């Protein structure tokens, strides 16, 4: 009877210690969960240089995060951009007059070079870009704003400096979007919505810490087993 009771106590003690020790693995896992992936921030301007299929993380201006495979930089369709531009103007009604998509516009660049065509929209860049479909050939051009002296549209004029100031606020919709894929589903985000683009740099330390925790648990299990009941760990010779 004493031997049976002694064995039960030993087994219960062993189980208790193992449960405590196995908790180390869980603690290591949870404590290092956010170290699983390490990302390197890239400027939006360099986003087009990211290779297809690269793991990226997008941080939007509303603080939401999205992770997935990079599927390229593409423009909104003219109708999609028009809708976003309308919504933007309805909210930012205090801005000075801006050209409207499909308006006829003349862009004067330094040194006194003119481009006339239909206004398509704005896009991101070091100082931003203005996009037009030039007359008469219909070629789409994205002109850097730091080269723009002034623009003329619907009887209005706006200096390149004023235009760059407006775009520096990063509130005007951009034509470009970034596409990511996660779980077989593709999503598309306007560049003006994106605060930061990060590229997966590598796997962090979690897997190594977890491996260490498991080894520690196993070592503790063997040590405790040997102390409580040598027959569990060693054969008697």
Length of the chain: 237
**Per-residue pLDDT tens listing for the chain (237 residues):** 545 455 555 554 544 444 454 455 454 444 444 456 788 888 777 888 899 999 999 999 899 999 999 999 999 999 999 999 999 988 887 777 899 999 999 999 998 899 999 999 999 887 889 999 999 989 999 999 999 999 999 999 999 999 998 888 778 999 999 999 999 999 999 998 999 999 998 655 455 555 555 555 555 555 445 554 555 444 444
Q: Report phi then psi at 112, rounded to 5.
A: 55, 45
d(C-alpha 231, C-alpha 137), whole Å: 90
Q: How many CB atoms lie within 10 A of CB 185?
A: 8
- CA–CA dist 56, 143 (Å, integer): 28
pLDDT at 58: 93
**Beta bridge partners of residue 15, listed in sequence order:** none
- The domain defined by 38-75+177-202 folds into SH3 type barrels. (2.30.30)
Phi-psi category of residue 65: left, alpha or beta, with phi > 0 → left and psi -120 to 50 → alpha: beta
User: Residue 33 belongs to what H/E stretch?
Assistant: none
Q: Where are the domains of the chain?
A: 2-36+204-233, 38-75+177-202, 77-174
pLDDT of residue 217: 56
pLDDT at 43: 77
pLDDT at 119: 97
Beta-carbon contacts of 56 under 8 Å, excluding residues fewer than 6 positions away, are 39, 50, 67, 68, 69, 70, 180, 197, 198, 199, 200
Contact indicator for 175, 55 with CB cutoff of 8 Å: no
Other C-beta atoms within 10 Å of 148: how many? 23
Q: Using alpha carbons, select from 107, 105, 129 the residue that is nearest to residue 118.
A: 105
pLDDT of residue 190: 92
For 208, phi then psi, to 5°, come to -75, -40
pLDDT at res. 30 = 46
The highest-level CATH class for domain 77-174 is: mainly beta
Q: Do domains 38-75+177-202 and 77-174 have the same CATH topology?
A: yes
């Amino acid at each position: 009877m004493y031997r049976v009771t002694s064995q039960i106590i030993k087994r219960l003690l062993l189980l208790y210690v193992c449960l405590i020790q196995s908790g180390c693995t869980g603690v290591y896992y949870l404590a290092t969960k956010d170290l699983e992936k390490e990302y390197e921030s890239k400027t939006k301007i360099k986003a087009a240089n990211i290779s297809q299929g690269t793991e990226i993380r997008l941080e939007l201006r509303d603080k939401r995060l999205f992770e997935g495979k990079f599927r390229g930089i593409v423009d909104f369709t003219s109708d999609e951009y028009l809708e976003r531009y309308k919504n933007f103007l309805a909210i930012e009604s205090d801005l000075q007059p801006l050209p409207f998509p499909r308006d006829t516009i003349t862009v004067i660049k330094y040194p006194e070079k003119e481009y006339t065509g239909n206004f398509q929209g704005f896009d991101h860049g070091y100082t931003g870009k203005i996009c037009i479909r030039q007359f008469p050939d219909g070629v789409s051009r994205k002109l850097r704003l730091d080269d723009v002296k002034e623009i003329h549209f619907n009887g209005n004029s706006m200096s390149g400096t004023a235009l760059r100031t407006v775009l520096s606020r990063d509130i005007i919709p951009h034509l470009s979007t970034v596409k990511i894929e996660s779980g077989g589903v593709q999503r598309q985000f306007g560049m003006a919505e994106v605060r930061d683009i990060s590229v997966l740099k590598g796997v962090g330390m979690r897997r190594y810490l977890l491996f260490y925790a498991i080894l520690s648990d196993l070592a503790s299990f063997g040590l405790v087993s040997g102390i409580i009941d040598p027959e569990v760990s060693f054969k008697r010779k």
